[in-house]
Structure 1
C-alpha cells in the first residue's frame, strides 16, 4: 500500500471538526490533540497578508482560521479526499488554496515562498527531517516561521514492523536537528495535557535565518 493510499484510508475514518468550539468560534487553531486546549495562532506572529503553508492540512480547519485572520493560505495533503473535504467546508473563504501532494514533492516542485510553514500532527511527524527541513528552509522567506506539533516520543518501543513510521524526537533532539538545518530562535517544549489526560503535546517553533 502506498503512503497516499494509507492516508486516504485514515482520512475515510476521520470525523469532521465541530462546527464551533467552546467559545462559540467558527474557526480556530488547535495545536494539540485535545479540544480547546493549548496556545493558538499567537506563536506564528502577525498573519494578515502573510503567505502560510500547512503541510498535512487535512480538512483545512486550522488553515481556514489563519485565512479568516487575513493570511493567504496553501494547504498540502497527500490524501486526495482531503482536498475535496477542505474545499467543501472552507471554499467560501478567500485566500485559500488546497493541493494534493506529498510534502517534499510539493516543495521541490514549487517556486513559491512562504512567511509561515506549520504542521499540526502532520507531515513533519511523518517525513524524514533530513529530506523535509532543507526543502522547508528553501521556501521560507528570511525571518519566516516554522512551527509544528506532534505527540511526544513514545516511552515504549514501537511494535515490530512499525518502526520508522513516525519521526519521534525529544525536544533536545529537535533543537539540534533544527539548528543543524539553519534555523534559529529554536524553541521546543512539551505542553502538559489537560486534567485527566496523560499524554502531552510537543510544540516546536523556529525562525529561518
Structure 2
C-alpha cells in the first residue's frame, strides 16, 4: 500500500540516530524532533523489570532501545520493513514487529502498562479506530502517551495529508494521512474514548526553531 511504501522511502533516506547524545549517552529518549530538547523517559513513569511497554510506530528503534535498558519488556511495532531492519541491525535483540499499529493491538492478547508513540502511529492512525484499541490493551491505570507536531496553520485541524518523497526521481510523490488536533480537542477525544487523567500541552521549541511539540498523556481507568 502507498503509505507503507512512503514510510520505507522515508526510512531509507533518513539519517539514523546519532551514536551518542550531548550527554555522551548511547541511548536516550526524546519526545521532540529537536536534539537533546524536552522531557525524556520520565514521562512514562516508573520503568523497570516487569514493566510491559509497547511503542506504536517505533521506526529505527532509538527510543525503544532506551526503554529496554531499564529491563522493561519493551516491544515495538512499525509498518516499515526498512526502519525495522535498521533497528535490528543497531540494537540486536530488540523486539520489533512488522505490522500496522491497529492490527497489532487487535491481535495481541496481553495488556501493557505503557503504550506510547513519538511522531508515530498516534499521529497517523484514525483516532476513532486507535483509541479504543489502546484503551483495551492497557492495564488498569496504564499510561498512553504520544507526541507530534501541533497544527502548523490556523484552521487546518483534523485529517490532513503529508506529501512524502517519491520512490524514485520522476515518480509521483507519495502521501500519508495524519491527524492534526489542538490540545483541547485531543483531550475531548481521549475523554470520549474512556481515558482519564488527561493532559495535553505544547512543548515550546528551542531558540531558532519555529514549531514546538504537542505532548499528550492519558490513563486507563484504575
Q: TM-score, normalised by structure 1?
A: 0.93
State the partner residue of 1:39: 39
Q: TM-score, normalised by structure 2?
A: 0.88
Cα distance between partner residues in 1 of 2:107 and 2:161: 30
**Does the 8 Å CA contact 2:152/2:211 hold for their aligned counterparts?**
no
Which runs of at least 4 in structure 1 moved beyond 2 Å after TM superposition? 161-164
**Does the 8 Å CA contact 2:12/2:83 hold for their aligned counterparts?**
no
State the partner residue of 2:171: none
Helix, strand or coil: the match of 2:178?
coil
**Structure 1: which 5+ runs fail to align?**
none
2:208 to 175, 191, 196: 196
Helix, strand or coil: the match of 2:60?
coil
Alpha-carbon distance, 1:162 to partner = 2.8
Alpha-carbon distance, 1:8 to partner = 0.9
Number of residue equivalences: 204
CA distances 1:91-148 after superposition (whole Å, capped 9, x unpaired): 15xxx31000011011111112111001000000000100000111111111110000
State the partner residue of 1:162: 161
State the partner residue of 1:25: 25
Aligned-CA RMSD value: 1.6
Cα distance between partner residues in 2 of 1:52 and 1:148: 13
State the partner residue of 1:3: 3
Does 2:69 align with 1:71? no
Alpha-carbon distance, 1:82 to partner = 1.8
Cα distance between partner residues in 2 of 1:66 and 1:101: 20
Cα distance between partner residues in 2 of 1:133 and 1:176: 12
